[in-house]
Amino acid sequence: MKKLTSLMAGAALALGLGAAASAQDDSFQVGFVYVGPIGDYGWTWTHDQGRLAVEETYGDAVETVYTESVPEGADAERVMTQMILNGADMIFTTSFGYMEATNNVAARFPDVRFEHATGYRRDHDNVSTYSARFYEGRAVMGHIAGHMTESNIVGYIASYPIPEVIRGINSAYLHAAEVNPDVEFRVVWVYTWFDPAVEADAAQALVDAGADVVLQHTDSTAPMTVLAEADAFGFGQASDMLQFAPAPRLSSIMDQWGDYYVRRVGEAMEGNWAQADTWEGIGDGMVGIGEMTETIPEEVRASAAALRDSIASGAYHPFTGPINRQDGSVWLAEGETPEDGPLAGMDFYVEGIEGEIPN
């Protein structure tokens, strides 16, 4: 099985060579565009695990190629174009910021199937979008955080002010406040998905502000290192990050893309692929909850597991009213749950979270 590393991909782009041109004519080639390095055990690592699941499932019938650490912009268009010129039949672009580039390239190559992670634009029939209901996992993490904080200050390292991230903050806060009405959330916006130095600085700033539990919606393990030194707690992000257990890691929210990638590649190979917008969660297996360490009291582990299971079964929705907006206006009445459309476009904090969402 051939793999195109980022080094080889860079050489192919620079020299105009078809690094994957030696693939067998009858193999179905699938490209993956990654926003960060694979080896960080976060977001990109989980997508690469999905790529490996495709290889394991289909063997020599499929060739996968990938490029790591691709900036979200014109560089992404060049990487995708080169993959297609080298024979790619299908491309997964694995970050929100690839949305415009994905649709631009799809317009030029209508016979190639494109799958864009966490986006919402499907401008062409050959573009699908997919995402996970991360807010379900963040409800469980918030529940644990509300129980575990002693300072009653929970920190949150937020990447970009987009609905996906805002939903996660709101979900975590609601479930932390449900078990601990005195809890406060402090949010630091870092405007990056992956920058270990920036993430570490954000974690330190939150610790300095009194946070003894920190959640993150960024991709590196750098915050975990800071939390370990500060005797504070955190959660694995995207992957399990078990190397930080039993402390500071309490549990984790895990992205599990393998089943989806295998399914969609299979549909493309069989000629059954069709444009879709997929949004799956704990019950579907796209969001996982990592092992809860014994640092968490037994009764909290049990209540968190019960919350996870009720979300998975559909018995409970993490956004169940009454819930007000930050300004006190009603968003959801008693017992009401949101439709997916308004939920997908969430652009406000819920009541109880202080500060403003940046433009």
Residue 185 within any structural domain of the chain:
yes
DSSP letter assigned to residue 242: G
Would you say residue 317 lies in a domain? yes
Summarize pLDDT for 314-354 with one digit per residue, the tens: 999 999 999 999 999 999 999 999 999 999 999 999 999 99
Render pLDDT for 34-67 as a digit per residue (tens, 0 to 9): 999 998 789 999 999 999 999 999 999 999 999 9
- Closest by Cα among 31, 2, 11 to 98: 31
Same domain membership, residue 35 and residue 177: no
Please check whether residues 75 and 185 belong to one and the same domain.
Answer: no
| Amino acid identity at 85 | L
77 and 16 part of one domain: yes
Residue 107 lies in a domain: yes
Is residue 349 in a domain? no
Query: Do residues 165 and 128 both lie within one domain?
Result: no
Q: Which residues of the chain have pLDDT under 70?
A: 1-25
Domain membership of residue 155 (yes or no) is: yes
Residue finishing a domain among 99, 132, 165: 132
CA 116, 118, 119, 125 dihedral sign is positive
In a domain, 246, yes or no: yes
**Nearest residue to 47 (alpha-carbon basis) of 27, 70, 24:** 70
Q: 3-state DSSP helix/strand/coil percent for the chain, to nearest 5?
A: 40, 20, 40
**Co-location of 24 and 158 in the same domain:** no
Sheet with 213-216: list strands edge to edge.
Answer: 184-189, 153-158, 213-216, 233-238, 249-255, 287-289
In a domain, 154, yes or no: yes
Q: 204: how many CB neighbours lie within 10 A of its CB?
A: 17
Report the number of distinct structural domains present in the chain.
2
User: Looking at 101, 132, 163, which one is the last position of a domain?
Assistant: 132
In a shared domain, residues 112 and 167: no
pLDDT at 12: 38
Residue 1 within any structural domain of the chain: no
- CA–CA distance, 176 with 164 (Å, rounded to integer): 19
Distance between CA 235 and CA 112 in Å, rounded? 38
Cα distance between residue 134 and residue 136, in whole Å: 5
For residue 196, give the amino acid letter: P
The whole-number pLDDT of residue 6 equals 39
* Tokens 């996870």 found at: 308
Select from 110, 132, 154 the last residue of a domain. Answer: 132
Q: Are residue 155 and residue 241 in the same domain, yes or no? A: yes
Residue 41 and residue 117 share a domain:
yes
> Do residue 59 and residue 169 come from a single domain?
no
Q: Give the range of the structural domain holding residue 55, as residue numbers without chain letter.
A: 6-132
CATH number of domain containing 214? 3.40.50.2300
Q: Do 29 and 148 have their domain in common?
A: no
Domain shared by 90 and 154, yes or no: no
**Backbone φ, ψ for residue 272 (5° rounding):** -105, 5
If you search the block for the tokens 């050959």, which residue do you land on? Answer: 126
DSSP-derived secondary structure letter, 291: P
Predicted structure pTM score:
0.91
> How many angstroms separate the Cα of 295 from the Cα of each of 144, 178, 202, 289, 332?
11, 21, 24, 16, 35
Is the domain of 124 the same as that of 141? no
Which runs of E-coded beta strand occur in 133-220?
153-158, 184-189, 213-216
